[in-house]
């Protein structure tokens, strides 16, 4: 009965998987930056110095930076996991 009280701990991803994920996230971020380079160049002057109204400036900053972080993170994680599972995972079967 004591064995069924607590579930078996589930460790997080290995350091090797995390390294592949971070490499793919960085690659996705660079690819996204290359594709949207003209947008980035046109938006950077609007980001600094802060302009009035401040809420509009913060919204632009959050949408611009957030989209690059979220999209790169999602795509990089998905691709990184697929690459890790296909090429780097140890066969434990």
Start-to-end C-alpha separation, the chain? 30
Is it the case that residue 22 has pLDDT exceeding 90? yes
pLDDT at 1 over 60: no
Which domain, by its residues, includes 41?
15-88
What per-residue confidence (pLDDT) applies to 9? 76
Per the structure, the count of domains in the chain is 1
Does residue 92 surpass a pLDDT of 80?
no
Q: pTM, whole model, 2 decimals?
A: 0.72
Domain-embedded: residue 93: no
Is 10 among the domain residues? Answer: no
Q: What is the pLDDT of residues 33-63, one digit of tens each?
A: 999 899 888 877 877 777 778 888 788 888 8
CB 76 within 8 A of CB 27: yes
């Amino acid at each position: 009965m004591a064995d069924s009280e607590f579930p078996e701990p589930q460790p997080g991803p290995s350091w090797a998987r995390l390294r592949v994920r971070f490499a793919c996230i960085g690659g996705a971020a660079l690819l996204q930056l290359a594709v949207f380079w003209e947008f980035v160049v046109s938006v950077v002057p609007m980001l600094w110095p802060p302009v009035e109204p401040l809420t509009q400036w913060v919204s632009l900053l959050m949408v611009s930076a957030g989209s690059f972080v979220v999209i790169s993170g999602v795509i990089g994680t998905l691709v990184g996991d697929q690459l890790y599972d296909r090429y780097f995972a140890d066969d434990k079967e």
